[in-house]
């Protein structure tokens, strides 16, 4: 293990915006903030999760853009989360937090109806293990347990296979509703479609890996969908 990793693991323990709970403690005591995230943030603003957030750059970027929303980045890699948590502390961001855990345990960190939006950004496409894909039916059922009704899930990925799998084998067969999907996110400038705010949102900030993939000439795919039905017309797309 590299020296920098050890230093980062140690510093992670000092960050008030980074929560790490062992499996044993989670099983015995549960997570103290489950159902109480609004007490932590000190407001009733809607909560957005980024699953598989890596270094947290997307979580941080969205939180800067939307100070009226709360953001929680989730990843299992502590050395990566260090960067996002440290930035959040350095900038004294009150609407950002991070959780170190496996996504399989995510429903133990959030109570029913506590989350208003999910971003899944460049997850491992798991080409040989569909049951580990973050958009497979198993994981969508986890998300349903804590998402508010009619809340969106966004998927950004460079994997055409994961994009097509999610669109054709999960969303279509599961009866979920797609609001927007594209196999090349940046082929259509968002300013040409003001009626699609989700397109602008997906284009306005990029993750570390996204910038790397774009530099390699790989198209970025994007899907916005709902696991519990789209909002009724006139009621807005989300909180």
Quick: pLDDT tens for 29-56.
Answer: 999 999 999 999 999 999 999 999 999 9
Give the pLDDT of residue 238.
44
Of the candidates 180, 189, 143, 181, the one whose C-alpha atom is nearest the C-alpha of residue 162 is 181
Confirm whether 236 is domain-assigned: no
Give the pLDDT of residue 231.
81
Report the number of distinct structural domains present in the chain.
1
Confirm whether 233 is domain-assigned: no
- Average pLDDT estimate for 131-147: 96
Confirm whether 234 is domain-assigned: no
Give the pLDDT of residue 234.
42
Query: Taking a C-beta distance cutoff of 8 angstroms, is the pair 231, 237 a contact?
Result: yes
Q: List beta partners, residue 51.
A: 74, 120
Look at the block and give the residue holding tokens 């899944």.
120
pLDDT tens sequence across 190-212: 888 888 888 888 998 888 889 99
Query: Taking a C-beta distance cutoff of 8 angstroms, is the pair 35, 108 a contact?
Result: no
DSSP, res 33: T
Please say whether the dihedral angle defined by the alpha carbons of residues 214, 116, 200 and 72, taken in this order, is positive or negative: negative
Q: pTM for the complete prediction?
A: 0.92
CA 51 – CA 107 distance, rounded (Å): 12
* Model confidence band, residue 236 (pLDDT cutoffs 50, 70, 90): very low
Q: Is the pLDDT of residue 189 over 70?
A: yes
* Model confidence band, residue 96 (pLDDT cutoffs 50, 70, 90): very high
Of the candidates 28, 47, 25, 27, the one whose C-alpha atom is nearest the C-alpha of residue 36 is 47
- Average pLDDT estimate for 81-105: 96
- Average pLDDT estimate for 168-174: 92
Give the pLDDT of residue 79.
92
Confirm whether 235 is domain-assigned: no
Active-site amino acid positions: 124
Q: Is the pLDDT of residue 156 over 50?
A: yes
Give the pLDDT of residue 129.
94
Confirm whether 148 is domain-assigned: yes
Q: What is the CATH number of the domain that holds 70?
A: 3.40.50.150
* Model confidence band, residue 2 (pLDDT cutoffs 50, 70, 90): low
Give the pLDDT of residue 1.
52
Give the pLDDT of residue 95.
98
Q: Is the pLDDT of residue 239 over 70?
A: no
**Domain extent for 207:** 3-226
Of the candidates 152, 219, 217, the one whose C-alpha atom is nearest the C-alpha of residue 180 is 152
Confirm whether 99 is domain-assigned: yes
Q: How many CA atoms lie within 13 A of 149 on its CB side?
A: 4
Confirm whether 198 is domain-assigned: yes
Q: Please report which helix (H) or strand (E) contains residue 155, including its range.
A: strand 152-157
CA 209 – CA 93 distance, rounded (Å): 23
pLDDT tens sequence across 106-122: 999 999 999 999 999 99
Confirm whether 15 is domain-assigned: yes
């Amino acid at each position: 293990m590299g020296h920098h990793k050890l230093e980062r693991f140690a510093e992670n323990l000092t960050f008030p915006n980074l929560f790490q709970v062992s499996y044993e403690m989670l099983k015995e005591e549960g997570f103290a903030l489950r159902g109480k995230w609004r007490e932590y943030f000190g407001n009733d603003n809607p909560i957005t999760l980024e699953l598989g957030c890596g270094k947290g750059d997307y979580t941080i970027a969205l939180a800067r853009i939307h100070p009226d929303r709360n953001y929680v980045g989730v990843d299992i890699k502590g050395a990566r989360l260090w960067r996002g948590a440290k930035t959040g502390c350095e900038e004294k961001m009150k609407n950002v937090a991070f959780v170190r855990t496996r996504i399989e345990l995510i429903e133990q960190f959030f109570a029913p109806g506590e989350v208003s939006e999910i971003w899944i950004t460049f997850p491992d496409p798991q080409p040989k293990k569909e049951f580990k894909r973050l958009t497979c039916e198993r994981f969508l059922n986890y998300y349903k347990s804590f998402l508010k009704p009619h809340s969106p899930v966004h998927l950004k990925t460079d994997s055409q296979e994961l994009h097509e799998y999610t669109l054709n084998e999960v969303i279509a067969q599961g009866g979920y509703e797609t609001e927007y999907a594209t196999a090349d996110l940046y082929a259509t400038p968002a300013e040409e479609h003001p009626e699609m705010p989700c397109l602008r949102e997906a284009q306005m900030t990029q993750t570390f890996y996204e910038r790397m993939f774009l530099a390699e000439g790989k198209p970025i795919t994007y899907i916005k969908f709902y696991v519990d039905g789209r909002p009724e017309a006139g009621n807005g797309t989300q909180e």
